[in-house]
Amino acid sequence: MDLNPSPEDLAFRNRVRRWLEANVPEDDLKTLDARKAWHRRLYEAGYVGMLWPPEYGGWAATPMQQAIVQDEMARVGAPPPINGLGIGFIGPTIIVHGTDWQKQRYLKKMLTAEEIWCQLYSEPNAGSDLASLKTRAEDQGDHFLVNGQKIWTSSGPIADWGILLARTDAKAPKHKGISCVLLHMRQPGVEVRPLKQITGSSLFSEVFMTNARAEKRDLIGGLNQGWEIAQTTLGYERGAGSLGRVTRYAIAFTQLVRAAKELTRGGQRLVDDPVVRAKMGKIYAELEVQRYAALRALSALQKGESPGPASSITKLSYTEFEKRYYELALEILGPWGQLITAHEEFEEVDTSSGEPGTWATAFLWSRAGTIYSGSSEIQKNIIGERVLGLPKEVRADRLKA
Amino acid sequence: MDFAFSPDQQLLKNSARAFLDEHMKPAAVRLLWEDPRGESETTWKEMAQHGWLGLSLPEAYGGSALGMIETAILLEEMGRAAAPGPYFPTVLAGRAIEEAGSDAQKKRWLSAIATGDARATVAFLDADLDWRPDATQTRADKTAKGWALTGTKRFVPWAHVADVLLVPARTREGLTLFLVDPSAARLTLEPTPVMDLATRLASVRLDTVPVAGDAVLGSPGQAGPLLASLLRRAALGAAAEMLGAARRCLDMAVAYAKVREQFGQPIGSFQAIRHKCAEMLLEVENSHAAVYYAAWALDAKADDGELAPSVAKAYVGDAARKVCGEAIQVHGGIGFTWEYDLHLYVKRAKALEAMYGDAEYHRELIVRRVAA
């Protein structure tokens, strides 16, 4: 057990730090073109697609190097790359399950953000119970005719392509009749409606498909194998963002300390109030434990150990922590924590979405983490069944199957 | 960067597990609960033979010169077994003697600790229950032959079997640490039974107890930093033991949830139980990260080596409370019986929650560092 970074990792971190100092844009990236241009520079520097194999345009870096890049970017508040879902999850799915033609056609443009990708999985009536999805893809010989509705689609309005789960066999048991196919978003049968969230912004959208067309050559894996494909790749690349995430928490904590020194109540600074101090101590202790756990997970990833279902522990841990964090922060700050516009520097804080905001927006965003990518309840089911080996629950749909 | 144990560390863990599984079965622990002395001389000597008593002591005194990671590995296993005995206080006292002792003091005590011939403990706490070394009220006055100590030390672990007590006291020079013979005149020990019968505590009353001039550990007035550093190790050691006890409780709860049936199903198939178990695992895994990160940080003298033990004590204290409590809940009525072994581990963790500064105490230490 030795948690000192290796000389190579230290040197790499210094290189990344110097590159970011020289290259991070000074102004906010206001347009999609500006964000794509920044993404392209990150890619060319070797900081996007780091874990992808070189034959598909990746850099074959180590998980630790990838975590270092994200950590250094968080440290200086660098704008993130775009196409995160494509690069983190859809691309690797195509690498594992796709055809050579699909790999040639899609992967490089995904990496360089020439084409933006979204995920078309959840439906209004298929959330945690994703396998009950209703969107249909009917076989029309050379293509599928797609009808249905998807929801919670990140990057929907800017996406060129989507990875779609749709029902291709209505008679089969629900897990057995689903296929995975790539859908071109820029066609008349696809309509994207932004969803306004409780934060006031619109990072998600609804997607309506009315006689939309998906090509047969864009089927991933075999017909009706969509569920297995979705299951095997959901955990890919977890852990890469862990250090950067903790660094963002730590930056927010220094803002909280500043706020607690600026604000007074009853004639004393908040930071001198023992009740406030107890809460701050609780946040900081938990934040540090998140950092230790991130190092532990990274150390396993470095050795090529697949986290498998144990990555559910990580996801459950940091998303639940984030809720406690911002709840305690808002308790400490009182009405000050509810501002939606920052006037003083100590009122600004990055949110888990990557959007800058106030303590109020960070608090609101913290409610998303325990719902998306498998809710906390789903993670606990996975941990219970697949890590602890507890018996499966009796479920109506399993009895029928 | 490698968070996993080295092969040697894993070997130590495995042999400690095997040893304790054999010698500290729940029935053996229960026998010691009833024992007036509360520990087993045979087991103690065997632990010495394994090299565990001298684990972190210098090789010159028969030790293995290993670090806090290895000590935490052993303590986690002892917590997992709820093994009674003065191992941890002896290790702590040995550390203090090694750090601040004269050659004569080291010769007198360290080899004897490594061979299992001496037990020792540290009397951190005064009557007003403040863990801050600065709060020490016990007094040491200069006499013709040495010093006279007056005061009351509370909740001193395993004082009744110790061959030497490390007693912080206030002198004209400031905070000073004394090596005190428990059989000295005008020193009285009074046992303080607590709910964990494997944790033996005592009040130590000092009424002008005569102590020789050469019984000062280090220099008079200089004990503050040494005590602060000892308390960090103590907090971390307690966290390691709580981790072991909590993992035992989790393992028992999961095993029980797999076999106990109600409504025609194993109760582990119900989300109400399964989700509890998942949350317990989360707390145990995070506690593991906290304990071993802090142990590494102390050994490596990392920048946060003084902060991390407080993080570990604060986090694991809360985590163990939750995990052990939920383990009783998962078991239902059987978990509330004396006969069932779960309470051995629940009580071990509970006893350590309050020792060496509770979670609130360590959170305040953290805030002093990060919001100064």
| Domain residue ranges in chain B | 7-117, 121-222, 224-370
Q: Is the pLDDT of residue B268 over 60?
A: yes
Local structure of residue B2 (DSSP, 8 states): B
Mean pLDDT to the nearest integer, B139-159? 97
Amino acid at residue number B61: Y
Chain A residue nearest residue B371, CA to CA: A257
pLDDT at site A237: 54
Confidence check on the interface: ipTM exceeds 0.90, yes or no: yes
CB B64 within 8 A of CB B18: no
**Nearest to residue B249, comparing CAs of B87, B83, B82, B86?**
B82
Phi, psi of A397 (to 5 degrees): -75, -25
Considering CB atoms only, which of B9, B275, B286 is closest to A384? B275
Q: Which CATH superfamily is domain A7-82 in?
A: Acyl-CoA dehydrogenase/oxidase, N-terminal domain (1.10.540.10)
Structure tokens at A38: 């920044």
Q: Are B55 and B63 in contact (CB under 8 A)?
A: yes
Q: What SS3 class is residue A92?
A: helix
Type of residue numbered B269 = S
Q: Would you tell me which CATH number, out of the four given (3.20.20.80, 1.20.140.10, 1.10.150.110, 1.10.10.10), belongs to the domain A242-400?
A: 1.20.140.10
Size of interface A-B (CB pairs under 8 A): 165
For chain A, say whether B3 makes contact (Cβ under 8 Å): yes
For domain B7-117, the question of CATH label 3.30.930.10 is answered with no
Cβ pair A1:B2 closer than 8 A = yes
Alpha carbon of A76 to those of A19, A28, A118, A244, A363: distances in Å?
Answer: 12, 13, 27, 11, 22
| Mean pLDDT over each residue of chain A, to the nearest integer | 92
- Tokens matching residue A220: 């991933």
Tokens in use for A75? Answer: 């440290």
pLDDT, average across residues B161-170: 98
Q: Do the Cβ atoms of A377 and B4 come within 8 Å?
A: no
Judged by a CB distance cut-off of 8 A, whether residue B48 touches chain A is no
Which residue's structure tokens are 């000092």? B206
For residue B150, give the amino acid letter: T
Would you call B254 an interface residue with chain A, using a CB distance cutoff of 8 Å?
A: yes
| CB atoms closer than 10 angstroms to residue A276 | 23
What is the model's pLDDT at position A239? 61
- Residue A400 clears pLDDT 60, i.e. is over it: no
**Chain B contacts of A380, Cβ < 8 Å?**
271, 274-275, 278-279
Q: Which of A115, A118, A106 is nearest to A165 (CA)?
A: A118
Sign of CA dihedral A160, A192, A219, A163: positive
Chain A residue with Cα closest to B69? A1
Task: Check whether A236 has a pLDDT greater than 60.
Answer: no
One-letter amino acid identity for A295?
Answer: L
Asked if A5's CB is within 8 angstroms of B366's CB, the reply is no
A7 near B CB under 8 A? no
Residue of B nearest to A295 (CA): B3
Distance CA A3, CA A203 (A): 37
pLDDT value at A358 more than 50: yes
Q: Is A329 on the interface with B (CB under 8 A)?
A: no
B121-222 — its CATH code?
2.40.110.10
CB proximity B327 to A under 8 Å: no
Residue B121 · residue B140 · CB < 8 Å: no
Q: What's the CA angle centered on B56, arms B54 and B62, to 5 degrees?
A: 40
On whether any CB of chain A is under 8 Å from the CB of B263, the answer is: no
Say if the Cβ atoms of B362 and A281 lie within 8 Å: yes
Instruction: Label residues B39-54 b or e (16+ Cβ within 10 Å = b).
Output: bbeebbeebbeeebbb
Neighbours of A140 (CB within 10 A): 11
For the domain B224-370, what is the CATH code? 1.20.140.10
In contact, B330 and B277? CB cutoff 8 Å: yes
**Chain A residues in contact with B2 (beta carbon < 8 A):** 1-3, 299, 302-303
Share of chain A above pLDDT 90, in %: 80
pLDDT of residue A399: 59
**A71 and A215 in contact (C-beta within 8 Å)?**
no
B158 sits in the region (left: phi over 0; alpha: psi -120 to 50; else beta) called: left
- Give the 3-state secondary structure percentages of chain A, helix then strand then coil, rounded to 5: 50, 15, 30
Interchain pair A299, B266: CB under 8 A: no
A4 and B1 in contact by Cβ < 8 A? yes
B31 and chain A in contact, CB less than 8 A? no
What the block records as the tokens of B209 is 């107890």
Determine contact: B51 vs chain A, CB below 8 A. no
Sole residue written with tokens 């000050």: A336
- The helix/strand/coil state of B360 is helix
Q: What is the DSSP letter of A87?
A: I
The runs of H, that is alpha helices, within chain B are 7-23, 26-34, 41-49, 68-81, 87-100, 103-115, 223-259, 271-299, 308-331, 342-353, 359-370
Q: Confirm if B265 and A401 have CB atoms less than 8 A apart.
A: no
Mind telling me how many Å the CA of B299 is from chain A's nearest CA? 10
Q: Tell me the C-alpha to C-alpha distance, in Å, between residue B210 and each of B3, B97, B135, B143, B149.
A: 49, 20, 23, 8, 7
pLDDT digits (tens, 9 = 90+) for B75-111: 999 999 999 999 999 999 999 999 999 999 999 999 9
Residue A234 banded pLDDT, cuts 50, 70, 90:
low
| Closest chain A CA to residue B5 | A1
Q: Catalytic residue at A206?
A: no
> Which residue in the set B2, B282, B311 is minimally distant from A313, CB to CB?
B282
Q: CA–CA separation, B126 vs B104, rounded Å?
A: 28
What residues of chain A lie within 8 A of the CB of B285, using their CB? 293, 313, 317
The H or E element spanning position A184 is strand A178-184
Q: Domains of chain A: which residue ranges?
A: 7-82, 116-224, 242-400
pLDDT at A301 over 70: yes
The answer on pLDDT for B126 being more than 80 is yes
Q: Which CATH architecture has domain A116-224?
A: Beta Barrel (2.40)
Largest CA distance in chain A: 76
Distances (CA, A) of A292 to A4, A247, A387, B242: 12, 12, 21, 18
Q: Mean per-residue pLDDT for A227-247?
A: 75
pLDDT higher than 70, residue A238: no
Q: What is the pLDDT of residue A67?
A: 93
Strand-pair partners of B113: none
Structure tokens at A131: 């396998």
pLDDT at A341: 87
pLDDT value for A345: 79
β partners of residue A118: A162
A280 Cβ under 8 Å from any chain B Cβ: yes
pLDDT at A235 over 50: no
Distance (Å, whole) CA B211 – CA B184: 8
* pLDDT given for residue A401 in this prediction: 44
Coil vs helix vs strand at B247: helix
Closest to B280 (Cα-Cα) out of A390, A33, A63: A390
The whole-angstrom distance between A284's CA and the closest CA on chain B is: 8
A302 touching chain B per CB within 8 A: yes
Closest Cα in chain B to A305: B4
Residues of B in contact with A64 (CB under 8 A): 1
Q: Which of A72, A115, A123, A237 is catalytic?
A: A237
Same-fold call for B7-117 versus B224-370: no
A46 interfacial to chain B (CB closer than 8 Å): no
Answer whether residue A310 shows pLDDT above 90: no
Distance from CA of B326 to the nearest CA of A (A): 15
Nearest CB to A384 within list B274, B285, B296: B274
Chain A interface mutation, best of B311, B326, B330, highest count of A Cβ atoms under 10 Å: B311
A325–chain B Cβ distance below 8 A for any pair: no
Q: Is A230 a residue whose pLDDT tops 90?
A: no
Question: Does A289 contact B254 at a Cβ distance shorter than 8 Å?
Answer: no
Confidence at residue A350, expressed as pLDDT on a 0 to 100 scale: 76
Given pLDDT bands bounded at 50, 70 and 90, which one contains residue B269?
Answer: very high
The Cα A263–Cα A253 span in angstroms is 15
Side chain identity at residue A35, one-letter code: R
Q: Give, in degrees to the nearest 5, the angle at Cα A10 between A5 and A14.
A: 150
Angle at B194 between CA B191 and CA B198, to 5 degrees: 90
pLDDT computed for residue A395 by the predictor? 78
| DSSP element (H, E) containing B169 | strand B164-171
Q: Which two tokens stand for residue B168?
A: 């912080």
Q: Could you give the CA distance from residue A340 to residue A328 in angstroms, rounded to a whole number?
A: 18
* Cβ separation A278–B366 shorter than 8 A: no
Phi then psi for residue A344, to 5 deg, are: -105, 155
